[in-house]
Chains A and B, each alone.
Chain A
Amino acid sequence: MSQEPRALRAINAGQSVADNATRLEGLEKATGAARYGRDQIKKDMLWVRLIRCPWGRASLDSLDRDAALATPGVVEVVVSGDAGDYHGDSIGYVVARSRRSLERGLQALDAKWTRLDCKTGILDDESARGPMEEPSDQVASAIDDAAFTFEATYSTPVQTHSSLETHGLMIEPDGENSIVHASTQGTFVVADQIGRFLGKRRSRITVDCEHIGGGFGSKFQIGKEGAAGGLAAKSSGEAVYSFCDREEEHLDTGNRPGLLCKVRLGHDADGTIRGARFETFGGTGVSRRGGGARVPSGRFEFGTLDARNHRDVQFNAGGPRAMRAPGCPQGAFVEELLIDEIAHRCGQDPLDLRRRLDDSDRRQRMYDLAADLIGWKNRAETGSQSGTMRTGYGIGTCDWGKGRAPAKIEVVVHPDGHLEVRTGTQDIGTGQRTAMGALVAARIGVPLANISVAIGSSKLPAGPASGGSVCTPSTAPAAMAAGDLARERILAGVAEREKLDATTLTIDDGVIMNGGRKVIRWEDACRRLSEPISVTGEFDGRASAYWGEGSSEGVQAARVEVDCETGQVFVRDVIAIQSCGLPLVRKTAESQIMGGVIQGTSYALFEEQVLDPNTGAVLNANLENYKILGSEDCPRIIPVLWRDDQTGVRALGEPPVIPTAAAIANAVFNAIGRPVRDLPLRPDRILAALAEPMAERVVAVAPGTTERETRA
């Protein structure tokens, strides 16, 4: 960037409830003291591994169950099927006393398979391969009325969540009860689901997940590994450890489905879009559902629309699961690149066209800030550059709804002034723990140092799963209510003793004040308690004063450099402006935005699950061939926490991952003058694009011109 971006501090200071708070469990994580489900290793426990299909589709010819059972240490072999419908599909499991005996047992099992024909992608579907259907009459006539028509096809790959802690759980017997250490985004979901396999009532099960090594949407259900673990625990009565290995994680724990999207639209010379038809095809593997994409998103005016022409295409691969803003990054990639293509055809600045097509006031202001911070004024005309290294600028946008769910938060006030915040929800790395602590502290008016947070146990007050960016927005009203209740209780006591009016009392940084006069320190007021008091704040999942209005919105701008000899794309800077209602903890909020940008950059450049079209085997079910972004590829990121008059807490987990790939694809288009309509933006695709003619213009560049050229 030609000019340094302004300091983050200057941008984000004062924007959040807790500006300087650090993650409460930060040192535990930095010293290795934090224990995850996968770290719950006992000397005597059973190991479980699923028996999996090695091909896209195969039938089982034979396996030697007896030999497996005769292997020292193997305690159980369960075979419940004789065919697999995708690579990684399971037909049973083996249980053994150690991982070594488990491995030997699986070898002795010696499963022999016959490979069968299989389908391996969206393009195995005839209608996906074929031409677009005719638009409806209204859309056809809207397109006809427009000056130009435009047609294009876009695609995105299968992305795997690749959480570093794999899916699974460890089950420990505890008398009649079971403790389940799960790597999950849904403490209470696991508690509900595992009983069936364990053969235990819900009241006999405690789910514990104090720390979770990543969860980006795939860790809601217990999965087959969890079910097998539960069954093994039931039949043995012993401690059981059942986690996927890295290959299984890639094969059978969900993914962001691939998308094929065909678009036909009619636009005028000024970029106005009169009407459009979108057809989407989502690859759902063996699942029936889950391939949908949010395109068009509704953020831009597309005139008369034929949307929601969606088809889920099945083939022989593991099915999708929700992944951080399901359907949205792929939809945004299509929609935003499409807008830039239209802008280019009409000789317009894509930012100006967005300003016209987008009716969100908040995003209008975000466009200005993004343009300023990225240095949009340095952007060269699309396709105007020559030479090896070419620089491009691109924009992407997002919004995210207002999902909410019931939640409870308990606050215990101890006589020493210490506050214990108790919530059964989980902190998957979002900073939920810190956010709840900081919010209660702020509501009461005491320093965060007074607070500890107990989180991630089904024994604690119930709350939602970490998904849909619902968790923090829903627990925040409960935390605010709990904080207010605790504060009122203490102030009422002080007012009574001091003969003051409780409504005039305030608490400022741990000191109870009456007007400008200090009455008593928080700790001293609490000391009068004979025993700890407990209050519970509740959010019923409906609108309330604590809930507030509005949703989350964002704009991102990317600057890239493209090496036109090698086809490599380097993402240099990303400005990520994100609103989330009332931001809670500045540092963790910035981290979430940054994480979204990094995953989005990784999605734009590298990630792609590859299926062998002949065998249906996944060719890169590991972290060396399935590449995720590393330290050397990481752009500079300026996460901007937006705060305006919104008072409720809103989504922050998912929205920042939506615009990044779109912004990068637009920046690449700007740099090289040809759109690359398929993700990831691999070097071979860049080079292939460069071999094509420059993207067409239908309107001359000169500003104010309306002269038409031949219709497209």
Chain B
Amino acid sequence: MTDDSSPTSGASGSSGSSGSSGNGDVSRRLFLQTIGISAATAAADRQSANADAAMRPGGATIIGPMPARTSLEVNGAPVDFVAEPATTLLEALRERCDVTGPKEVCDRAACGGCTVLLDDRPVASCMMLALDATGRKIMTVEGIGTVDDPDPLQVAMAEFDAMQCGFCTPGVVTSAKALLERNPRPNIDEIRAALSGNLCRCGTYPNIFNAVLVASGQEPVEEPTDRGQTIPGGRA
């Protein structure tokens, strides 16, 4: 995955890709629902806004199975919603917070399309429960920069045409941003490694490498070319 800190373990417990059609996803969610209770327990002390939390006689807080109030900090802004405890961070962002930059592509930690920064580290948001992200800083591609105020990395991505359909691009930008935060001048091999969890079906990798190199003040190497300038105001 994008980073060794990504919470990918447990991904495979889910689906065992035997012939179980269509319901691999169902069983995975059941699995998440099951572990959701214990994971939520850990999250609970960070969870002051949880209206549905109940105290067990033993003292542990359980959340759910009914929908629970969840509070997140997304791109610097607090958001508050009620969702089942089994809701993944990706679902919460897309379906509750109207943050659709992170994409649902594989929903099982295989593609990096859903990458977000959790306390500055890249994680696959499809593999984590929203409740586990409470009290932590969540940043998505939208938080890295906007069309009117883009991050230099995003400008470089556009200039080097490091996208075609663009569906992988939010995840790529997020992983690359995390790389640049921890390594301001990555070489090409480090860039390849950092992006090895981000699949791009259109095949834009060489342009991505160059965009990351240039965004970190280095020369593009993969195919040495001066790509010209973004045309101001040229956007549709």
Q: Which chain B residue shows the least CB distance to A105?
A: B26
Q: A496: CB under 8 A from chain B? A: no
Q: Is the CB of A449 within 8 A of B15?
A: no
Q: A135: CB under 8 A from chain B? A: no
Q: A636: CB under 8 A from chain B? A: yes
Q: For A596, what are the chain B residues with a Cβ–Cβ distance below 8 Å?
A: 203
Q: Which 7 pairs between the two chains have the least Cβ-Cβ distance?
A: A32-B101, A598-B203, A617-B19, A26-B158, A213-B167, A429-B165, A29-B166
How would residues 152 to 171 of chain A score, 1 for a CB under 8 Å from any chain B CB and 0 otherwise?
00000000011111100000
Q: Is the CB of A449 within 8 A of B19?
A: no
Q: For B106, what are the chain A residues with a Cβ–Cβ distance below 8 Å?
A: 246, 622-624
Q: A106-B22, A165-B165 are in contact. Are A636 and B222 (CB under 8 A)?
A: yes
User: B residues near A, CB below 8 A?
Assistant: 15, 17-26, 29-30, 84, 86-87, 91, 94-95, 98, 100-111, 113, 140-142, 144-147, 150, 153-155, 157-170, 173, 191-193, 195-209, 222-236
Q: For B102, what are the chain A residues with a Cβ–Cβ distance below 8 Å?
A: 32
Q: Is the CB of B236 within 8 A of A634?
A: no
Q: Is the CB of A103 within 8 A of B142?
A: no
Q: For B100, what are the chain A residues with a Cβ–Cβ distance below 8 Å?
A: 32, 35, 39, 41
Q: Is the CB of B26 within 8 A of A8?
A: no
Q: For B157, what are the chain A residues with a Cβ–Cβ distance below 8 Å?
A: 26, 29-30
Q: For B29, what are the chain A residues with a Cβ–Cβ distance below 8 Å?
A: 100, 103
Q: Is the CB of A22 within 8 A of B159?
A: yes
Q: Is the CB of A29 within 8 A of B169?
A: yes
Q: For B236, what are the chain A residues with a Cβ–Cβ distance below 8 Å?
A: 24-25, 433, 437, 452-455
CB distance from B110 to the nearest CB of A (A): 4
Q: Is the CB of B234 within 8 A of A24?
A: yes
Q: A511: CB under 8 A from chain B? A: no
Pick from B24, B160, B201, B231: contact of A247, CB below 8 A: B24
Q: For A116, what are the chain B residues with a Cβ–Cβ distance below 8 Å?
A: none
How would residues 587 to 610 of chain A score, 1 for a CB under 8 Å from any chain B CB and 0 otherwise?
110111011111100100000000
Q: Is the CB of B192 within 8 A of A631?
A: yes
Q: For A620, what are the chain B residues with a Cβ–Cβ distance below 8 Å?
A: 17
Q: A32-B142, A622-B17, A622-B110 are in contact. Are A449 and B199 (CB under 8 A)?
A: no
Complex-state Cα separation, A53 to B168, whole angstroms: 30
Q: A9: CB under 8 A from chain B? A: yes
Pick from A31, A50, A595: contact of B147, CB below 8 A: A31
CB distance from A556 to the nearest CB of B (A): 14
Complex-state Cα separation, A596 to B164, whole angstroms: 12
Pick from A4, A20, A631: contact of B229, CB below 8 A: A20
Chain A residues 256 to 313 lying within 8 A of chain B, measured CB to CB, are none
Q: A7: CB under 8 A from chain B? A: yes
Chain A residues 17 to 40 lying within 8 A of chain B, measured CB to CB, are 19-36, 38-39
Q: For A454, what are the chain B residues with a Cβ–Cβ distance below 8 Å?
A: 236
Q: A637: CB under 8 A from chain B? A: yes
CB distance from A623 to the nearest CB of B (A): 4
* Number of A residues with CB within 8 Å of any CB on chain B: 105
Q: Is the CB of B165 within 8 A of A213?
A: yes
CB distance from A108 to the nearest CB of B (A): 11
Chain A residues 39 to 68 lying within 8 A of chain B, measured CB to CB, are 39, 41, 49-55
26 A-B pairs (CB sep. < 8 Å): A4-B224, A7-B223, A8-B224, A8-B225, A19-B228, A22-B159, A29-B157, A30-B163, A31-B141, A31-B144, A31-B147, A36-B103, A41-B100, A50-B22, A54-B22, A164-B105, A164-B111, A164-B113, A165-B105, A245-B22, A247-B25, A429-B164, A437-B236, A453-B236, A595-B204, A619-B18
Complex-state Cα separation, A61 to B57, whole angstroms: 45
Pick from B103, B193, B222, B231: contact of A22, CB below 8 A: B231
Q: Is the CB of B19 within 8 A of A598?
A: no
Q: For B104, what are the chain A residues with a Cβ–Cβ distance below 8 Å?
A: 38
Q: Is the CB of A99 within 8 A of B91?
A: yes
Q: Is the CB of A615 within 8 A of B234?
A: no
Q: Which chain A residue shows the least CB distance to B84?
A: A100
Q: Is the CB of B111 within 8 A of A591?
A: no
Q: Which chain B residue shows the least CB distance to A102?
A: B26
Q: For A54, what are the chain B residues with a Cβ–Cβ distance below 8 Å?
A: 19-23
CB distance from B165 to the nearest CB of A (A): 3
Q: A19-B228, A587-B227 are in contact. Are A164 and B21 (CB under 8 A)?
A: no
Q: Which chain B residue shows the least CB distance to A23?
A: B161
Pick from B25, B103, B150: contact of A165, CB below 8 A: B103
Q: Is the CB of B205 within 8 A of A598?
A: yes
Chain A residues 209 to 223 lying within 8 A of chain B, measured CB to CB, are 211-216
Q: Is the CB of B166 within 8 A of A623?
A: no
Q: Which chain B residue shows the least CB distance to A241?
A: B95
Known: A164-B103, A246-B108. 11 other contacts (CB 8 A): A9-B224, A33-B142, A164-B111, A164-B165, A165-B103, A452-B235, A591-B164, A623-B105, A623-B110, A631-B195, A636-B222
Complex-state Cα separation, A690 to B226, whole angstroms: 43
Q: Is the CB of B91 within 8 A of A22?
A: no
Q: For A591, what are the chain B residues with a Cβ–Cβ distance below 8 Å?
A: 161, 164, 202, 204, 207
Q: A447: CB under 8 A from chain B? A: yes
Complex-state Cα separation, A369 to B209, whole angstroms: 26
Pick from A29, A161, A602, A631: contact of B208, CB below 8 A: A631
Chain A residues 143 to 185 lying within 8 A of chain B, measured CB to CB, are 161-166
Complex-state Cα separation, A475 to B96, whole angstroms: 40
Q: For B192, what are the chain A residues with a Cβ–Cβ distance below 8 Å?
A: 631-632, 634
Q: A378: CB under 8 A from chain B? A: no
CB distance from B12 to the nearest CB of A (A): 8
Q: A628: CB under 8 A from chain B? A: yes
Q: A87: CB under 8 A from chain B? A: yes
Q: Is the CB of B22 within 8 A of A588?
A: no
Pick from B23, B145, B170: contact of A107, CB below 8 A: B23
